C-alpha cells in the first residue's frame, strides 16, 4: 500500500523494515539478514556516501556478485538520493572503464575480490571521487588491497565506512519520484553500452504491476540465481522487499545441486529462471531427492521456454504455476502469459502486464489488426526515461504517444497479436542474439575478433542450442598467409568480452559469402 505522497523505490525497504524489522529479508551464503539490519546498514552507507560528496542525482556504480554487500549498496545509493547502476562482476576492465566514463560515475562500490577488474578503470575515470571496496581493513587481505589501491580516489573499505556512520536514520530525502533511481546497462545492436534510465516512479510501477499478477505475498521466499546487474535479477529483490518477503540470493546456477538444497531448506516459493536454468534443473539426476513442495510459482523470461520443458515442469511440479513472460529492459516487462492460458496458448508471450498497454504498428506507424506482424509499441508507467547521454538513440525508441508530450516505447521487436489479443514474438528487428538469456550483439563480437592480429574478416551468428537457446558461432577469415588457432581466438575474446559473448564455435573460412552489394550474407552461413 502506498501511503506517502512521494513514494520512492527504497520506501519499500523503509516500510517493510518498519512493519516487520525482525523478518529475514535476505538469505545469502548461509547468512540470514533481517530487514532491520539491511535498513540500518544501508542508512549508514548512505551517510558514508553523502559524507564523501555523493549528491542527489550522482551515479554510483556497484560492481559485485549477488552478495549482501551488493544488496545493501543498492539501497544505500537510493537513500543517498543518488542513482544506482549495478554492473556484472564478469565485466572486463576496458568495458568497466567505458561504463564508468559513460555515466560519469561519482563513486564506485566494488567487491575487493574483483580488484584485477576495477583497479585500472577506477584509476582512469575522471569523475570518480570515491572508491569503496567490500570488507574491512581488519581483514589482512582487504588491508593489503587497500595498500595496493591507495592511489585510487577516496579509497575506503566498505565495512569501515559503515561502522563509522550513523545507522538510525537515512540522510534527508532529496529526490521526488520522477528522479532517477537506477541506470541499467544493456547492449545496443552495435554492442555499445546503453544506460537505461529508470525513475523511482518507473520502478515502483513495474514492481506493483509484477507483484500483482504473481500475487507476491509477505510469506514469499523468492530465489534469485540471476545477476542483480540485470533487471530480472534486481527485481527479485525489489519484489521481495515490496512485500516484506524474503529473497534467497545465489551467485548463479553453476552448481545446481547446491542451489536446489538451499531451495529445499529455505522452502523457496518463487523460482525465477531463464530457459538455460530450467534445462539444467530438469536434467538433474537428483531432482526427485529434494523436497520442492513449497514452490508456488516459476517465472521464465529472456527467451522462449521450449514447449517440452513447459510440459516437464508441469509434470514434475503439478501444483506450481508457470509464468512465461517477455519484456525488455527499456520498459522492464511487456507481457506475461496467465498460467491458466499456458495449455491453450503455449507459444504466446501473453497479455500486457497490468497498467500497461500495447499495440503493433507497421513501418509507417499505422496500427495493425490481428494476425499482422508489426513492431511492438508499449505505453505505460514503466517505460524508461531514455538512454543516459544518448539523445539520438533515445529518440529512435521513445516517440510521441496519444497524449500531448507523452512518449511511448518502440521496442524494435516484431510481434503478432491473435484474435483474443494475445501476443506472439516473431523476431527482433536488430540482429541481437539471445544466448543463455543474455543479449549478444553480433557486431560487438565481430569487432572484437577484428581487433585480433591475423583476423581479416569476421561474421557472427546465433545457432540453435539445446542449453543456451542460441550458441554464438563465428566465421573467421585469416589474413593471407596467417594460420589462426581457434583456441587462441577464443581466449582473446575471453579477455575482451563478457563470457556469454564469447563464441562457442569458431569456423575458419577462406572467404565469406557476400551479397551483390558486397555485404556479408549471413543467411548463407550456418
Partner 1 sequence: MHDDPTDPQRHLRDFIVTNFYIPDGQPLDEVTSFLDAGIIDSTGVLELVAHVESRYGITIADHELIPSNFDSIGALARFIQRKRGRDGGSNGGFNDRLAR
Which residues sit at the interface with partner 1, rule CB under 8 A? 89-90, 92-93, 113-117, 119, 251-258, 278-286, 308-309, 312, 436, 466-468, 487, 490-491, 494-495, 499-500
Q: How far is the CB of 256 from partner 1 (least distance, A)?
A: 6
Judged by CB, which is closer to partner 1: 315, or 344? 315
Report, in Å, the least distance between residue 225 CB and partner 1. Answer: 9
Closer residue to partner 1, CB minimum distance, 20 or 312? 312
List the beta bridge partners of residue 458.
476
Kindly state the helix (H) or strand (E) to which residue 379 belongs, with its residue range. strand 374-380
Distance CA 200, CA 78 (A): 9
Alpha-carbon span 398 to 408, nearest angstrom = 5
Question: Rounded to 10 degrees, what is the CA torsion of 337, 339, 343, 348?
Answer: 10
**Smallest distance, Å, CB 497 to partner 1?**
9
The DSSP symbol for 169 reads S
Q: Measured from the CB atom, is 119 or 381 closer to partner 1? A: 119
Shortest distance in whole angstroms from residue 435 CB to partner 1: 9
Smallest gap, in angstroms, from Cβ of residue 417 to partner 1?
A: 31
Of 285 and 340, CB closest to partner 1: 285
28 in Cβ contact with 233 (< 8 Å): no
Determine which helix (DSSP H) or strand (DSSP E) holds 23, and give its type and residue range.
none
Distance of closest approach, residue 487 Cβ to partner 1, in angstroms: 6
φ, ψ at 513 (rounded to 5°) = -65, 145
Please, which residue, 280 or 429, has the CB nearer to partner 1? Answer: 280
CA distance 282 to 298: 13
User: CB of residue 490 vs partner 1: minimum separation in angstroms?
Assistant: 7
Q: Closest approach of Cβ 185 to partner 1, in Å? A: 17
Choose between 80 and 468: whose C-beta lies nearer to partner 1. Answer: 468
Alpha helix positions (H), 52-199:
68-79, 93-102, 115-123, 140-148, 158-163
Query: What is 299-327 written as a DSSP string?
Result: EE-SSPPPHHHHHHHHHH-TTSEEEEEE-
Strand ranges, E, within 479-524: 505-508
CB of 285 to partner 1, least distance (A): 6
What's the rounded Cα separation, in Å, for the pair 522 and 526? 8
Among candidate residues 398, 404, 366, the one with its CA nearest the CA of residue 382: 398
Among the listed residues 65, 111, 57, the one whose alpha carbon sits nearest the alpha carbon of residue 84: 57
What one-character-per-residue DSSP string does 332-352 give? S--EEE-GGGTTT-TT--BEE
**Residue whose CB is less far from partner 1, 82 or 248:** 248
Nearer to partner 1, 89 or 441 (CB): 89
Residue number with CB closer to partner 1 (90 or 429): 90
Percent of residues in the chain assigned helix, strand, coil, to nearest 5: 35, 25, 40
Give the H or E element holding residue 175: none
Amino acid at each position: 500500500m502506498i501511503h506517502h505522497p512521494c513514494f520512492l523505490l527504497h520506501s519499500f525497504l523503509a516500510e517493510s523494515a518498519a512493519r516487520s524489522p525482525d523478518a529475514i529479508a535476505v538469505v545469502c551464503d548461509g547468512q540470514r539478514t533481517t530487514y532491520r539490519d539491511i535498513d540500518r546498514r544501508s542508512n549508514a552507507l548512505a551517510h558514508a556516501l553523502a559524507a564523501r560528496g555523493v549528491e542527489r542525482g550522482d551515479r554510483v556504480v556497484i560492481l559485485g556478485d549477488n552478495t549482501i554487500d551488493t544488496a545493501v549498496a543498492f539501497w544505500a545509493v537510493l537513500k543517498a538520493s543518488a542513482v544506482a547502476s549495478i554492473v556484472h562482476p564478469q565485466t572486463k576492465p576496458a568495458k568497466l572503464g567505458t561504463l564508468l566514463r559513460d555515466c560519469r560515475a561519482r563513486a564506485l562500490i566494488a567487491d575487493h575480490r574483483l580488484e584485477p577488474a576495477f583497479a585500472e578503470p577506477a584509476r582512469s575515470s575522471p569523475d570518480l571521487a570515491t572508491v569503496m571496496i567490500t570488507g574491512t581493513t581488519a581483514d589482512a587481505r582487504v588491508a593489503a588491497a587497500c595498500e595496493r589501491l591507495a592511489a585510487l580516489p577516496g579509497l575506503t573499505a566498505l565495512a569501515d565506512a559503515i561502522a563509522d556512520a550513523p545507522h538510525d536514520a537515512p540522510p534527508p530525502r532529496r529526490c521526488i519520484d520522477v528522479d532517477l533511481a537506477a541506470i541499467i546497462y544493456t547492449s545496443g545492436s552495435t554492442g555499445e553500452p546503453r544506460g537505461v534510465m529508470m525513475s523511482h516512479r518507473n520502478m515502483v510501477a513495474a514492481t506493483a504491476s509484477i507483484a500483482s499478477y504473481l500475487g507476491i505475498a509477505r510469506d514469499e521466499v523468492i530465489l534469485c540465481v540471476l545477476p542483480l546487474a540485470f533487471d530480472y535479477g534486481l527485481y527479485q529483490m525489489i519484489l521481495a522487499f515490496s512485500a516484506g518477503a524474503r529473497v534467497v540470493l545465489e551467485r548463479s546456477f553453476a552448481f545446481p545441486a547446491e542451489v536446489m538444497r538451499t531451495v529445499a531448506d529455505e522452502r523457496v516459493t518463487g523460482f525465477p529462471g531463464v530457459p538455460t536454468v530450467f534445462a539444467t534443473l530438469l536434467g538433474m539426476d537428483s531432482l526427485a531427492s529434494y523436497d520442492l513442495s513449497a514452490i508456488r510459482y516459476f517465472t521464465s523470461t529472456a527467451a522462449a521456454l521450449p514447449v517440452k520443458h513447459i510440459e516437464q515442469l508441469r509434470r514434475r511440479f503439478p501444483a506450481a504455476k508457470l509464468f512465461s513472460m517477455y519484456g525488455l529492459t527499456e520498459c522492464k516487462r511487456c507481457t506475461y502469459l496467465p498460467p491458466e492460458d499456458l495449455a491453450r496458448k503455449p507459444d504466446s508471450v501473453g497479455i500486457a502486464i497490468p497498467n500497461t498497454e500495447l499495440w503493433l504498428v507497421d513501418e509507417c506507424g499505422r496500427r495493425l489488426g490481428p494476425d499482422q506482424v508489426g513492431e511492438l509499441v508499449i505505453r505505460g508507467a514503466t517505460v524508461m526515461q531514455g538512454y543516459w547521454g544518448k539523445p539520438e538513440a533515445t529518440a529512435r525508441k521513445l516517440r510521441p504517444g496519444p497524449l500531448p508530450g507523452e512518449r511511448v516505447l518502440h521496442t524494435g521487436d516484431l510481434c503478432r497479436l491473435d484474435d483474443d489479443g494475445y501476443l506472439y514474438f516473431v523476431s527482433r528487428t536488430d540482429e541481437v542474439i539471445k544466448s543463455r538469456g543474455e543479449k549478444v550483439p553480433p557486431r560487438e563480437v565481430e569487432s572484437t575478433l577484428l581487433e585480433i592480429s591475423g583476423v581479416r574478416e569476421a561474421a557472427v551468428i546465433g545457432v540453435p542450442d539445446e542449453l543456451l537457446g542460441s550458441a554464438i558461432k563465428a566465421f573467421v577469415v585469416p589474413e593471407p598467409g596467417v594460420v589462426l588457432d581457434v583456441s587462441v581466438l577464443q581466449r582473446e575474446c575471453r579477455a575482451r568480452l563478457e563470457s556469454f559473448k564469447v563464441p562457442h564455435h569458431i569456423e575458419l573460412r577462406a572467404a565469406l559469402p557476400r551479397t551483390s552489394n558486397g555485404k556479408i550474407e549471413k543467411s548463407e552461413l550456418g
